[in-house]
Amino acid sequence: MRLDGRIAWITGGGAGIGAAIAHALAAERARVFVTDINPPAAVAVAELIRATGGTAWGIGQDVTQEADWEQVLAEVRRLGGGLHVLVNNAGVTTSGALLEQMEFADWRRALAVNLDGVFLGTRLGIRAMKHNAPPGGSIINVSSVYGLVGIAGAGDYVAAKGGVRLLTKAAALECAQCGYPIRVNSLHPGYVQTPMLEHGLARMVASGTFPDVQTASATIAGLHPMNRLATPEEIARSAVFLASDESSFMTGAELVVDGGYTAR
């Protein structure tokens, strides 16, 4: 088991990619802390992991609040000891507005969750992991293909996810410069079949962009040369790789799992 005995913390772990990552890390014998803005969802995922023989706890967390990070870390230390893997996964979708029409409040919400939350997590992860015995760990920041390329109607989202990409590189260089054996990498999925995507597709249908969800889903799938959407489990397997020693010479890197989306 590649993560036997390690402590992992996944934000936004109550559904979608985060839940799949939590299950995948637990399957590799990590002890998993699942956090989510929706506490019952985090608890439900943790219960499923325990039902299959894993070790997990579910805790409510708002990643935009510094106090929540400290409170969860206190629980991680109390129940698990150290912190070896941190997956900054929590995120929200774009407002869908063009920049000239976008409300500043919508911009701030997207940046607060998708970028500020990753900053707070990365900072806390470095502070915690350097005190492990022995020191070290892996921080995985979930970005997106839209951290690599732009798209109209999602300026708030691409700004945040692009920020995650370069924040990751800065953090990786700082850890290396300080001599901390902490690796920091970003993960860039294409479109993934998750409740968040389903919500976005439904919104496109409601706005008249597509006649129905099936057409919307097929169109989005067609943006990928592989002509399909990813499953959350496919993204989770990539996170396991970054969390494990198999990626021991990777830091400041971008792991792109996008069905060829950015290869065009």
261 is catalytic: no
Laid out side by side, the sheet with 254-257 consists of 55-60, 31-36, 7-10, 85-88, 137-142, 182-189, 254-257
Q: What angle do the packed helices 117-129 and 155-178 form, to 10 degrees?
A: 20
Query: How far is the C-alpha of 230 from the C-alpha of 237, rounded, in Å?
Result: 12
Q: Do 181 and 126 meet the contact criterion of CB atoms below 8 Å apart?
A: no
Q: Which of 157, 180, 191, 261 is the catalytic position?
A: 157
Query: How far apart, in Å, are the Cα atoms of 108 and each of 113, 119, 144, 220, 242?
Result: 9, 15, 19, 26, 30
Count of other CB atoms within 10 angstroms of residue 52: 10
Alpha helices, H only, the chain? 16-27, 39-51, 66-79, 104-111, 117-129, 155-178, 195-206, 213-221, 232-243
Active site residues: 157
